[in-house]
Amino acid sequence: MAPNLRESWWIRDVEVPTRVVLAPMAGVSVQAFRRQGRRYGAGLVCSEMVSCAGIEHGNERTLGYLRVASDEHPLAIQIFGSDPRAMAEAARMVESAGADLVDMNFGCPVRKVTKTGAGAHLLQDADLAYRITEAVASAVSVPVSVKMRRGVENGSRSCLEVGPRLVEAGAATLTLHPRSAQQMYTGYADHTLTAELVELVDVPVIASGDVTSHAKANAVLAATGAAAVMVGRGAQGNPWALREMIDGDAAAPTREEVAAELILFIRETVRELGERRASRFLKKFYGWYLGRGRFPRPFKQELVQLDSTEEVVTRLLAAAPGAAEIVAQLEAELPDPADEILLDQMPISIYGGG
């Protein structure tokens, strides 16, 4: 029988309403992106990587960057680092910020992360990975999750050694992207490793990598026994992919729906990051939203050249006048911004908002 992606599941005492998780993506997973993902059915959403060193230093430029809104729960905030004490302290702040889970990145293959002993490098130091997990799990009352790759080198099976030790140290769930760090995003994700990991641990496993459709999600869940699948790049500028993943509803959005979602995303990102940072951050999203034959290719180039986000919104409404009514409906359903939890010292993303 095919798995029901609408079925809820549990990470310890946190109920996740669907079996699709929106991946943490550097330079992408701002609050507006996460909230949109929840609206389209993602059962769990994740922040981008946050440096535990940045938390310690309390960089003033990023105060208020990470926010937790009432409509994005359940939410995992992801931290990275290589020092157990600093990671534990960062985890306490993440819990105070209102996250439902503390997620740790043991899989990032980017050199600026691995050279510090963090990310995928920890798959080569199982003892340190264990100590970090134990320190973080002991520091917070919310569940702790870990996202990892298969290992650093091609063909590595380190995840099968490290994974059970992380559970022993206190991890309540594991996410496996079964590519090596060397592969980056090339080749394919070997989910036979995911199936092996499921057999080795007694906590839910989330399958990440090459899950691009409803059929693929069902196939991966059926073949691996994983509790859920994680969707990443396929949802960039394309929240409708989440709906298709869960329900098999492949109906393409109208031009007005696309414009409306982009306008809301622009406005919410400006509210979060400020006009100057948001204007730079958003440019990559124009192509993601407007591609796939939704708008003529020159239109995206026109938007990228505009000086302000308000000019972009004006141009979108001119191209799709019916979007205005949809935007009004979407904005009426947003929670009061006063419901957000803001801390005096907020974490700093190494990517600075993109």
What integer pLDDT is reported at residue 350 of this predicted model?
A: 41
pLDDT higher than 60, residue 254: yes
Q: Can you give the pLDDT at residue 336?
A: 75
pLDDT for the residue 51: 86
Instruction: Find the mean pLDDT for residues 281-300.
Output: 94
**Residue 352: what pLDDT?**
39
Positions marked active-site: 108
Q: Binning pLDDT at 50, 70 and 90, where does residue 249 land?
A: confident
How many CA atoms are closer than 13 Å to the CA of 11, on its beta-carbon side? 33
Grade residue 61 by pLDDT with cuts at 50, 70 and 90: very low
Which of 63-72, 128-137, 154-163 has the weakest average pLDDT? 63-72
pLDDT at 17: 98
Return the pLDDT at 273: 87
Q: Report d(CA 231, CA 20) in Å as an integer.
A: 7
At residue 131 the predicted structure's pLDDT band, cuts being 50, 70 and 90, is: very high
Residue 346 confidence class, pLDDT cut points 50, 70, 90: very low
* Mean residue pLDDT across the chain: 91
pLDDT value of residue 200: 98
Task: Say what the pLDDT of residue 97 is.
Answer: 85
Q: Report the predicted TM-score, pTM, of the whole model to 2 decimal places.
A: 0.93
pLDDT of residue 339: 63
Residue range 305-321: average pLDDT? 97
With a pLDDT cut of 70, the percent of the chain lying above it is 92
Lowest pLDDT segment from 4-8, 64-68, 71-75, 343-347? 343-347
Check residue 291 and give its pLDDT.
92
Answer yes or no: is pLDDT of 277 > 70: yes
Residue-level pLDDT at 272: 87
% pLDDT > 90, the chain: 78
pLDDT of residue 87: 95
For residue 185, the model assigns a pLDDT of 86
Note the pLDDT of residue 348. 44
Which of the pair, 337 or 21, is modelled with greater confidence?
21
Q: Is the pLDDT of residue 98 over 50?
A: yes
How large is the average pLDDT for residues 119-139? Answer: 96
* Segment 197-236, tens digit of pLDDT: 999 999 999 999 999 999 999 999 999 999 999 999 999 9
